[in-house]
Amino acid sequence: MKFAIGSDHAGFELKEKLKKYLTSKNIEVIDVGTNSTESVDYPDFAEKVGKLINNKEVDFGILICGTGIGMSIAANKIKGIRAALCTIPEMAALSRKHNNANVLVLPGRLIGYELATWIFDAFINATFEGGRHERRVNKIKALEE
């Protein structure tokens, strides 16, 4: 399994901690930045993660900004990306089961590291259920065309 991870300045510290957590679980990680807490523009990192997913260079993505809202908006503008802002593990599991989310978005200023790992674990351990949910996801894809 391979993940792309990116953040803006507000998500930098959580991104660095999560990278270590992912590698401890034998997950390959491509870090697209940012590399400090110096102010940057979050859409740049959403685009980098989205491109890696669409080019099939990674399986999933993680994006982190202060609230997660900006990253969610930016990532969901990219064709083929279904980014889910999750603040509790149940949201992460359902984002995979019902929405086939391929990007997990986290609010770096609103949650701590431990909760972030629980959310990630719920995301990665869930699988898309298909069925009626597939019909709905296909309607989202149709909106992109």
Q: Residue ranges per domain, the chain? A: 2-144
pLDDT at residue 117, as a whole number: 98
Q: Considering only CA atoms, which of 98, 55, 94, 53 is closest in space to residue 76?
A: 53
Pairing, β 60-65 against β 2-7: parallel
Kindly name the residue from 9, 86, 98, 133 that is annotated as catalytic.
98
Distance CA 139, CA 142 (A): 5
- What is the CATH code for 2-144? 3.40.1400.10
98 catalytic? Reply is yes
Express each pLDDT in 84-108 by its tens digit: 999 999 999 999 999 999 999 999 9
Helix (H) or strand (E) holding 7: strand 2-7
Structure tokens at 106: 């986290």
Residue 9 annotated in active site:
no
Token look-up 């997660």 returns 68
- CA-nearest of 119, 109, 124 to 29 is 124
Q: Give the tokens for residue 22.
A: 């992912």
Query: What is the token pair recorded at 41?
Result: 């523009």
Q: Return the number of other C-beta atoms located less than 10 Å from residue 26's C-beta.
A: 7
Burial class (CB in 10 A: 0-12, 13-18, 19+), 73: middle
| 41-89 pLDDT, tens digit each | 999 999 999 999 999 999 999 999 999 999 999 999 999 999 999 999 9
pTM of the model: 0.97
Options 9, 65, 86, 133, the catalytic residue: 65
Please list the alpha-helical segments (H only) found in the chain: 12-24, 42-54, 69-75, 89-99, 113-125, 132-144
